[in-house]
Amino acid sequence: MGKKNVKVIVFDAYGTLFDVHSVIQKCEELFPTRGQQISELWRTKQLEYAFIQHIIGRYRPFDEITKNSLRFACEQLGVALAENQEKELLRSYLTLSPYEEVPNALKKLANRYQLAILTNGTLNMIQPLVEYHHLNPYFSELMSVDDVKQYKPSPAAYAYALDRLQCEREDILFLSSNTWDITGASSFGFQTAWVNRKKVVFDRMGQQPDHIIYNLNELIRIV
């Protein structure tokens, strides 16, 4: 496969393994008819805030950004967010639903490869989430950019993963559903597979994934 044999498969978490919009159910429960709007604006601002904080050199951890983007989304949409409701919605990020095929696919892949996660989320977000769904046995490393204070797609984030995994960059197959993440990882020198769950067009940013798949079951056939 690809340029050389893969030794480690590194996954992005949000949108790749876990459905960030599974929070719609809780949003809808708390704010009937507004769930989808809140979820979509929350995610949009979450990414925007992370990129802007990175660019201006004022890193803020992802759990803080997640809280601030939720507050913005509710204020922008005219939804009164009580403290207890905010806590409930933030807790929902610790139990995001994995995509349907993820648990079984990880089980199969873990029999053949070292698996790891590299996320913009903080460890206090990703560790409970992985443990909640009993996926922790499949991963050798749960890596957060919080340790390097550089959000993906910064090269420093991928370099941090490479240092932790103690292998060559060509040995790594990196998976993400986010085109900006694939662009960063490809530019850094990782082999990449874009999980195109929404069946959309890849962004034109000068890089292309080595592989395009639509769910993790297709990855099993490729590797």
**What is the number of domains present in the chain?**
2
Bridge-based pairing of strands 191-195 and 211-213 is parallel
pLDDT > 80? residue 129: yes
Q: Which residues are catalytic?
A: 12
Reported as a pLDDT band with limits 50, 70 and 90, residue 65 is: very high
Do the domain assignments include residue 2?
no
pLDDT of residue 165: 97
Q: What are phi and psi of 141, to 5 degrees?
A: -140, 135
Reported as a pLDDT band with limits 50, 70 and 90, residue 83 is: very high
Which of 161, 147, 218, 188 is CA-nearest to residue 1?
A: 218
Domain range holding 88? 20-92
pLDDT > 90? residue 117: yes
Do the domain assignments include residue 43?
yes
**Weakest mean pLDDT among 68-77, 144-153, 213-222:** 213-222
pLDDT > 70? residue 2: no
Note the pTM of the prediction, 2 decimals.
Answer: 0.95
Q: What is the mean pLDDT of the chain?
A: 96
Do the domain assignments include residue 158?
yes
